[in-house]
Amino acid sequence: MKQERKFLRQCALCKAYKEKKDLIRITKDFKTGIIKINDNSEVKGRSIYLCNNETCLENALKKKKIEASLKTKLTENIKNELYTVLKK
């Protein structure tokens, strides 16, 4: 029986290592420039991972960590979508 490998990702803010399913993935599609959150498809582009908690999200928005990593401005719609994903 094959052992399942767990690949860890690092939160861009608190630097904690967690499984991919326990983090919020924010990706900017390199072709269209559209921001996608927790998209299951393999979107190619710049990505950032954040802990699935309000503290990391609020601090990342306040420090503009997401905007700096993705090299783009976040709209209010994207910010609202992040909070919606957080509450799930």
Residues 28-43 pLDDT 10s: 998 899 999 987 767 8
φ/ψ region of 50 (left if φ > 0, alpha if ψ in -120 to 50, else beta) reads beta
Q: Are 24 and 38 in contact (CB under 8 A)?
A: yes
Q: Are 12 and 48 in contact (CB under 8 A)?
A: yes
Q: Are 11 and 23 in contact (CB under 8 A)?
A: yes
Helix (H, G, I), strand (E, B) or coil at 11: coil
Q: Where are the domains of the chain?
A: 8-87
Q: What percent of the chain has pLDDT over 90?
A: 69
Statement: residue 58 has pLDDT above 60: yes
Q: Are 75 and 81 in contact (CB under 8 A)?
A: no
> What is the CATH code of the structural domain delimited by 8-87?
3.30.1230.10
* pTM of the shown model: 0.84
pLDDT mean across residues, the chain: 88
